[in-house]
């Protein structure tokens, strides 16, 4: 029996192989909760957009990323060559977005095909982190995998469509309704919506947590990352992404955070840069303290040009805000509601 496994990254792959899981094991890797994921693109077209974004942020070599994504996509397209496909994903946003991307492809593929291929589709949906498990746990997880039903495929497809929409209220509607077939998805999508600029001061949850971490005094990046990670109910992002958020709040006309030397902060691109970056102390600017204290608005000051799924947040032209108290997406500056 030939089995194809997809999972979130290299740590899980190593543990699965050490635990005796047999078959092709493919890591998905993409950090889909940051950067453009626009609608209307095929799997291959989107992979090119994602590779260019990741490389453009200094998170890897473009040719290598494009090659890895192309190989990964090819394995997914060939899923009917296998007797069984097993999706291994965790309960956090990083994994849930990868999961619904794959489910969307599988749903569209089976719909287009219109015939039974005989390939079994299964899922291991883990309440925790695969990369931290002892290898011997994986046999039990595999034994208790469950079938991916048509309801699971459709839920994944609907969620992926909402995530790629240019209107974040589509994600809110999906999250509010929930999905009984994908038990971790709605909580993850609520966390995604918290990355919209707050209606109070224009900061996303991640940006706010970073500034709050340094509000009592300068800190090294290592300590900032630790404090930010400790605030998350489930793992949200790694240190390279937190470094990217710091950079966005520093390399701007009105920086919110700087090195204590007064220099603006760029994310590291080499190992030497990384050592210096982790050890140098960072602190709030007067503007950062004003924003944190709700006396100024980060978006009105210039904000950050970034993408959340299919939503493009264009600095001061950003159309959407997040009402923290009501947990609700609101239109900003008279945007069409």
Task: Give CA 291 to chain center in angstroms.
Answer: 25
Structural domains of the chain, with CATH:
3-185 (3.40.1360.10), 205-331 (1.10.10.10)
Q: Which residue has the higher pLDDT, 217 or 192?
A: 192
Handedness of CA 208, 213, 216, 222 (dihedral sign): negative
**pLDDT for the residue 337:** 47
| Residue 84: strand pairing partners | 3, 120
**pLDDT, tens digit, 9 for 90 and up, residues 54-79:** 999 988 999 999 999 999 999 999 99
- Other C-beta atoms lying within 10 Å of the C-beta of residue 115: 6
Tens digit of each residue's pLDDT (9 = 90 or more) over 16-40:
998 999 999 999 999 999 999 999 9
Mean pLDDT for all residues in the chain: 92
Query: CA–CA separation, 308 vs 207, rounded Å?
Result: 14
Asked if 299 and 333 touch (Cβ cutoff 8 Å), the reply is: no
Q: Where are the alpha helices (DSSP H) in 150-215?
A: 150-163, 169-177, 185-193, 205-214
Radius of gyration (C-alpha) of the chain in whole angstroms = 21
CB 214 within 8 A of CB 284: yes
Interval 258-306: pLDDT, tens: 999 999 999 877 777 788 788 899 999 999 999 999 999 999 999 889 9
Give CB contacts under 8 A, 24+ apart, made by 105-111. Answer: 105/43, 105/76, 106/79, 106/148, 106/153, 106/156, 107/153, 107/154, 107/156, 107/157, 108/157, 109/79, 109/80, 110/153
Whole-angstrom distance, CA of residue 275 vs CA of residue 295: 35
Distance CA 307, CA 54 (A): 12
Residues in the chain: 337
Predicted pLDDT of residue 174:
96
- Categorize the per-residue pLDDT at 114 as very low, low, confident or very high, splitting at 50, 70 and 90: very low
Task: Report CA-CA distances (Å) from 11 to 60, 103, 107, 245.
Answer: 18, 22, 27, 24
């Amino acid at each position: 029996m030939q089995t194809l496994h997809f999972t979130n990254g290299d740590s899980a792959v190593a543990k699965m192989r050490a635990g005796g899981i047999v078959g092709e094991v493919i890591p998905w890797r993409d950090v889909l909760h940051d950067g453009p994921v626009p609608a209307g693109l095929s799997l291959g077209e989107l992979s090119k957009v994602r590779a260019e974004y990741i490389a453009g942020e200094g998170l890897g070599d473009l040719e290598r990323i494009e090659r890895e994504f192309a190989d990964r996509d090819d394995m997914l397209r060939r899923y009917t060559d296998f007797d069984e496909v097993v999706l291994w994903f965790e309960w956090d946003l990083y994994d849930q977005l990868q999961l619904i991307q794959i489910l969307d492809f599988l749903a569209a593929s089976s719909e287009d095909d219109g015939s039974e291929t005989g390939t079994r589709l299964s899922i291991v949906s883990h309440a925790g982190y695969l990369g931290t498990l002892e290898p011997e746990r994986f046999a039990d997880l595999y034994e208790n995998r469950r079938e991916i039903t048509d309801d699971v495929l459709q839920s994944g497809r609907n969620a992926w469509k909402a995530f790629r929409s240019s209107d974040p209220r589509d994600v809110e509607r999906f999250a509010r309704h929930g999905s009984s077939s994908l038990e971790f998805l709605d909580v993850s999508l609520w966390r995604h919506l918290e990355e919209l600029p707050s209606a109070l001061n224009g900061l996303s949850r991640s940006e706010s947590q970073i500034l709050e971490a340094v509000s009592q005094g300068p800190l090294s990046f290592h300590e900032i990352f630790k404090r930010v990670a400790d605030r998350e109910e489930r793992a949200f992002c790694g240190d390279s992404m937190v470094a990217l958020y710091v950079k966005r709040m520093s390399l701007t006309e009105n920086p919110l955070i700087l090195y204590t030397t007064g220099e603006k902060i760029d994310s590291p691109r080499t190992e030497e840069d990384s050592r210096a970056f982790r050890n140098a102390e960072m602190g709030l600017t007067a503007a950062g303290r004003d924003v944190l204290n709700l006396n100024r608005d980060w978006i009105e000051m210039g904000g950050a040009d970034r993408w959340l799924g299919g939503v493009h947040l264009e600095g001061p032209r950003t159309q959407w805000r997040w009402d923290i108290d009501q947990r609700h997406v609101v239109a900003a500056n008279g945007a069409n509601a």
